[in-house]
Every structure is written in C-alpha cells, then in structure tokens.
Amino acid sequence: MNQRDEHGLPPGVIDNDGHYEVDPAIMTVYPQFATDFEVDRIVKGRLEYLYWVQRHFAERVLPPHAEEPDEPRRAG
C-alpha cells in the first residue's frame, strides 16, 4: 500500500499532465457483451420511460397518414 515510484505515485497510477489516472496497461479489457435478455430489458426500459414522459403531453401520437376507420389506436 505504501509503495511509491520515483515520482511518488502508488503502483498503477500515472500522472497525465497533472491529472492522475489509472494506468491503462494494468486494466483488463473485457469484450462488451449483453445477453438478449439484457438488451431487451434495456431497450424496453428506455421505450417505457419515453412513453411515460410523452403521455404527460398528449393522449396519443398520430401516425403519418390517416388511419382506416377500423384500425386500432396505437397509444393512449
């Protein structure tokens, strides 16, 4: 814990122009990986949030073209 290099820094810390950072050389790089379940959860969570906020504004979002009379409403 008390080890210091010649610059007085503990192991694994570098001085980057006066800003102390963890030395990337000692980092382990893990590939970015998410299961289908995780992706689904993240995307669904974001869409639910956007939908929830948007419903503070209007009851429903109109599609770009007039709906057929028997077409079900998309939101609201």
Partner 1 sequence: MSGTVTREAVSELVDVCGAQRVVVAPQGRLIRAMVPAPFPFHRWADEAPDVVVLPETTEEVVAIVKLANRLRIPIVPRAGATGLNDGAKPMRGGIVVDTKRMNKVLEIDTTDWTVTIQPSINMLKLNELLTPHGVWYPDDPASYPVSIVSGRVGTGGWSLLGSRYGHVRDNVISMEFVLPTGEVIEVGQGGGRKIRHSSTGYRLKDLFLGHQGTLGIVTECTLELYPRPEAEFPAFFGYESFEDGYRAVQPFCRSNLATLAGVILFDERKVEYLRRDDEAYIPEPESLRSIVAVAAYGSEGEVAAARDRLMQIGADTGGRYLGEELSELDWASRHDRYATPLHGRSRGRAVHMSWHCEDAAITYSQLPFVKRRWHEIADRYIAEHDVFDNWGMFFYTNNAYKGWGDFLVEIDIGVWEQRFDERSWQAWTELKREIAQVSLAAGGSISACHGATREGEVDLIPVELKDGQFDLMLKLKRLLDPNNIMNPGKYLLDRAYEEAERAGGAPGNPEGVPR
CB closer to partner 1 out of 3 and 32: 32
CB closer to partner 1 out of 16 and 35: 16
- Write down the least CB distance from residue 37 to partner 1, Å: 21
- Write down the least CB distance from residue 56 to partner 1, Å: 5
CB closer to partner 1 out of 4 and 46: 46
In the block, residue with structure tokens 């210091």: 4
Answer for the pair 45, 56: CB distance below 8 angstroms, yes or no.
no
- The residues that touch partner 1, with contacts defined as CB under 8 A, are 18-19, 47, 50-51, 53-54, 56-66
Straight-line distance from the first to the last Cα atom of the chain, in angstroms, rounded to the nearest whole number: 59
Residue closest to 20 by CA, chosen among 30, 29, 10, 34: 10
